[in-house]
Amino acid sequence: MVTHPPYLHPDYASTVLRAPSRPPLEMKEDPEAAELTGPVFGRDEVDPLDADLTAGHAGEPLGERIIVTGRILDASGRPVPDTLVEIWQANSAGRYAHQRDQHPAPLDPNFTGAGRCLTDDEGRYRFVTIKPGAYPWRNHPNAWRPAHIHFSIFGTAFTQRLVTQMYFPGDPLFAFDPIFRSIPDPAARERLVSTFDLEITEPEWALGYRWDVVLGRTPMEDA
């Protein structure tokens, strides 16, 4: 079965405008040359506090505090160390801290919803954040997105990037979401769903979720 969603998925209305209407062009130059000249990320550029989305504000954010961790692996199952992982998400009320989001839900002054980290030698990443809320979108009548966190995984340059989404187990909105359902293979869809993990959970502080990304097998975000 096909792992990645098609560029054109009419149930997801935005793809009608975004999907390529012409066949791809063959690159005449070595495509790796562009990757080698792109920016390379060093550990000094990422502060450890960047991975805690609940820190750096005047007060505590509202909502359910969670820990999200896992490993970035290549197609052979080997860890990918020192790779930049970025996330962004809505707050617990389902609203993004972005001027284009005019959803009538409250903004949280103590939560901006973006973070980043570098994977360790075992390809492991870890974020502390707030579980995002579902939110309405205007794709179709009474459309709501399941709770999710956007992930961006970089290689050694900006030209090497996977953008995808992580979901939470047992969400009743899965059956109604055309983005989630645009992935043809049901087994591939499940690879986007995190797993609750009591060992990651910290008593009286935060619930833990585990989610691994396997490059080449984890579905990319629908175009």
Catalytic residue numbers read 96, 135, 145, 148, 150
Range of the domain at 159: 35-214
Flag whether 20 is in a domain. no
- 10 Å CB burial of residue 105 (0-12, 13-18, 19+) is middle
Flag whether 17 is in a domain. no
Residue numbers in the chain where pLDDT is lower than 70: 1-3, 6-8, 13, 16-17, 19, 25-44, 156-159, 222-223
Distance, in Å, from the CA atom of 177 to the CA atom of 212, rounded to the nearest integer, reads 22
Domain count, the chain: 1
For residue 65, the domain's CATH number is 2.60.130.10
Flag whether 30 is in a domain. no
Flag whether 25 is in a domain. no
Per-residue pLDDT reduced to its tens digit, 75-85: 899 999 999 99
Flag whether 109 is in a domain. yes
Nearest to 65, CA basis, from 96, 111, 116: 111
DSSP string, 87-137: EE---TTS--SSTT---SS---TT---EEEEE--TTSEEEEEEEPPPPEEE
User: Which DSSP category does 142 fall into?
Assistant: T
In this predicted structure, what is the pLDDT of residue 220?
84
In this predicted structure, what is the pLDDT of residue 34?
46
In this predicted structure, what is the pLDDT of residue 42?
54
